[in-house]
């Protein structure tokens, strides 16, 4: 699935994780505003936590102002605490935090962490680790505003040097300075090989690499190797050094999906993630 009028592998909708606070540096709000505006102008929709507070609220306001699609997913328990955004394209109310993350992951073609706190970390690390386990094959990235994520990425590099994070999974996460760079890198991104060997087929013959694993995954979802953002999930080695194609061309959203319509509160859902 790609954004209209853009390159083949540019995601149509990104899960955006960011802080429920504004942080101490005004640069954070400025950067996430520019990021969200750029996504909207390129026709890339946003799925996020649904709040109107902190950097989350800045992202939603900016994308909506630029005509973008913004879907919020929020557990009922947070609707008041995080002040559900009243102007979203769609607001989905779910039962639990786990359902929120599963719903966001199912709706998104890729994941990005903007500056944020513990919640942001938890969300992006789940997406990153699900990639390693082959639960999904969608790109994961960090918007490194003013070096915000550098200490964390250095820690992961150190963990990798210690032999506890495989280089291919360390390198699978894209680190970008702005939306152009992130989308360009996502456009050529390929999923790393699934961590565990493919389970044997019933007749004892291992399933071919890249096929949907059938072993037990950490979630109730059916894992898949096919990424909607990519033309083919090859299961090949990661391609950090792959040439960066030109970023998607600027275009207003042209999807037939609802944009700017009145928010729709869907009934609480308990459906399993569809990835
Ligand atoms: P923070 O980065 O801590 O400011 O939180 C950003 C967002 O992450 C907020 O919408 C929180 O509700 C959400 N969040 C916090 N903890 C979790 C969690 N364990 N699972 C899912 N979302 C979370």
Residue of 96, 120, 149 with the most ligand 1 atoms within 8 Å of its CB, for mutation? 120
Question: Ligand 1: distance of its center to the CA of 153 in Å?
Answer: 20
**Residue 54's pLDDT band (boundaries 50, 70, 90)?**
very high
- Indicate whether residue 233 lines ligand 1 (CB < 6 A): no
pLDDT at 260: 36
| Closest CA to ligand 1's atom 13 | 119
pLDDT at 212 over 50: no
**Residue 257's pLDDT band (boundaries 50, 70, 90)?**
very low
pLDDT at 266 over 70: no
pLDDT at 48: 98
Q: Which residues of 203-217 are buried (b: 16+ CB within 10 A; e: fewer)?
A: eeeebeebbebeeeb
Interval 80-126: pLDDT, tens:
888 899 999 999 999 999 999 999 999 999 999 999 999 999 999 99
pLDDT at 193: 84
What is the average per-residue pLDDT within 20-47? 98
pLDDT at 90: 97
Interval 186-200: pLDDT, tens:
999 999 988 776 655
Question: Ligand 1: distance of its center to the CA of 120 in Å?
Answer: 6
Residue 186 and residue 138: Cα distance in Å, rounded? 9
* Edge-to-edge strand list for the sheet holding 265-269: 173-176, 140-143, 110-113, 13-17, 45-48, 70-75, 90-94, 265-269
* Spatial CA neighbour of 195 closest among 131, 140, 151, 149: 131
Concatenate the DSSP letters of all residues of 68-130 into one string: --EEEEEEGGGTTTTTB-TT-SEEEEESSHHHHHHHHHHH-SEEEEPS--HHHHHHHHHHHHH
Q: Reduced to 3 DSSP states, what percent helix, strand and coil does the chain have, rounded to the nearest 5?
A: 30, 15, 55
**Residue 202's pLDDT band (boundaries 50, 70, 90)?**
low
pLDDT at 9: 66
Question: Ligand 1: distance of its center to the CA of 24 in Å?
Answer: 18
Positive or negative CA dihedral for 152, 162, 122, 10? positive
What is the average per-residue pLDDT within 35-61? 97
Positive or negative CA dihedral for 78, 253, 108, 143? negative
- Indicate whether residue 87 lines ligand 1 (CB < 6 A): no
* Spatial CA neighbour of 35 closest among 17, 20, 49, 23: 17
For residue 118, the ligand 1 atom closest to its alpha carbon is: 3
Residue of 29, 118, 119, 152 with the most ligand 1 atoms within 8 Å of its CB, for mutation? 119
What residues are paired with 46 via a beta bridge?
14, 70
pTM of the model: 0.74
Task: Return the number of other C-beta atoms located less than 10 Å from residue 250's C-beta.
Answer: 12
Interval 151-189: pLDDT, tens:
999 999 999 999 999 999 999 999 999 999 999 999 999
Domains contained in the chain, CATH given: 13-267 (3.40.50.450)
pLDDT at 39 over 60: yes
pLDDT at 232: 29
What is the average per-residue pLDDT within 136-157? 97
Question: Ligand 1: distance of its center to the CA of 224 in Å?
Answer: 26
| Closest CA to ligand 1's atom 8 | 119
Question: Ligand 1: distance of its center to the CA of 64 in Å?
Answer: 22
């Amino acid at each position: 699935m790609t954004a209209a009028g853009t390159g083949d592998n540019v995601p149509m909708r990104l899960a955006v994780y960011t802080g429920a606070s504004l942080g101490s540096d005004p640069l954070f709000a400025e950067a996430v505003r520019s990021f969200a505006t750029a996504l909207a102008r390129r026709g890339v929709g946003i799925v996020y936590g649904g709040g109107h507070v902190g950097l989350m609220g800045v992202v939603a306001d900016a994308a909506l102002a630029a005509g973008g699609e913004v879907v919020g997913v929020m557990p009922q328990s947070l609707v008041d605490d995080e002040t559900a955004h009243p102007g979203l394209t769609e607001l989905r109310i779910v039962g639990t935090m786990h359902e929120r993350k599963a719903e966001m992951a199912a709706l998104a073609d890729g994941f990005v962490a903007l500056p944020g706190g513990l919640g942001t970390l938890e969300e992006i690390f789940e997406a990153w680790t699900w990639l390693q386990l082959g639960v999904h094959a969608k790109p994961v990235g960090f918007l490194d505003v003013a070096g915000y994520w550098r200490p964390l990425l250095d820690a992961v590099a150190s963990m990798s040097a210690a032999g506890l994070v495989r280089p291919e999974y360390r390198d699978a996460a894209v680190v970008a300075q702005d939306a152009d760079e992130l989308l360009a890198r996502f456009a050529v991104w390929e999923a790393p090989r699934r961590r565990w060997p493919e389970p044997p087929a019933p007749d004892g013959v291992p399933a071919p690499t890249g096929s949907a694993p059938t072993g037990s995954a950490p979630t109730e979802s059916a894992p898949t190797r096919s990424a909607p953002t990519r033309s083919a999930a090859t299961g090949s080695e990661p391609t950090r050094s792959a040439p960066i194609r030109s970023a998607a061309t600027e275009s207003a959203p042209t999807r037939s999906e609802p944009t700017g319509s009145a928010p729709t509160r869907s009934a609480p859902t308990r459906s399993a993630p569809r990835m």
